Amino acid sequence: MADTMTRKQTEGELAQPESTRGGRVFVPNVDILEKDDEMLVLADVPDAKAQSIDITYEQGILSFHAKVEPRQAEGRTNFLLREYAVGDYHRSFRLGKEIDPAGIKAEIRDGVLALHLPKAEPARKKQIKVQQV
């Protein structure tokens, strides 16, 4: 089966991935939170399953692609009203040097993808204790 995403590289820069599969591709809404030891990205990916999510980190860019299967068979379903669209989700972020890519972790729960991006040691907040002299 052919890869559903291809990448173009122009003059040493990574271009945005382009979809080669038919169908809708959504840019999911995200929240990004900064904690003392990590950045946390929360992305809405309804109906995505862990086994259908592809997360990559390459040249400072973190990308995820979540493939979502249609709920109903297109040719065999008689829709009386159809407002909810189903499609895949794709989003990319350029990460700074303050993120440790070796420690990136992901989990999905209730249609929300959580990407844990640990801060590299030099970027972590340090508490400096003042000594009485």
- Tell me the average pLDDT across 20-31: 82
Distance CA 3, CA 5 (A): 6
- Check pLDDT > 90 for residue 4: no
List Cα–Cα distances, 82 to 63, 70, 77, in angstroms: 30, 13, 11
Distance CA 108, CA 114 (A): 6
Q: Which domains does the chain have, with CATH numbers?
A: 30-71+83-122 (2.60.40.790)
What was the pLDDT predicted at 21? 55
- Tell me the average pLDDT across 102-116: 96
- Tell me the average pLDDT across 6-10: 37
What was the pLDDT predicted at 7? 38
Closest CA relative to residue 82, chosen from 65, 67, 70: 70
- Tell me the average pLDDT across 111-121: 93
Say if CB 104 and CB 118 are below 8 A apart: yes
- Tell me the average pLDDT across 32-51: 94
pLDDT band at 71 (very low <50, low <70, confident <90, very high): confident
**Can you give the pTM of this predicted structure?**
0.73
Strands (E), the chain: 5-6, 9-10, 13-14, 18-19, 25-26, 30-34, 38-44, 53-58, 61-66, 88-94, 105-109, 112-118
List Cα–Cα distances, 65 to 4, 62, 119, 133, in angstroms: 10, 10, 23, 57
Mean pLDDT (the chain, rounded): 81
Query: Among 73-82, 87-96, 120-129, whose mean pLDDT is lowest?
Result: 120-129
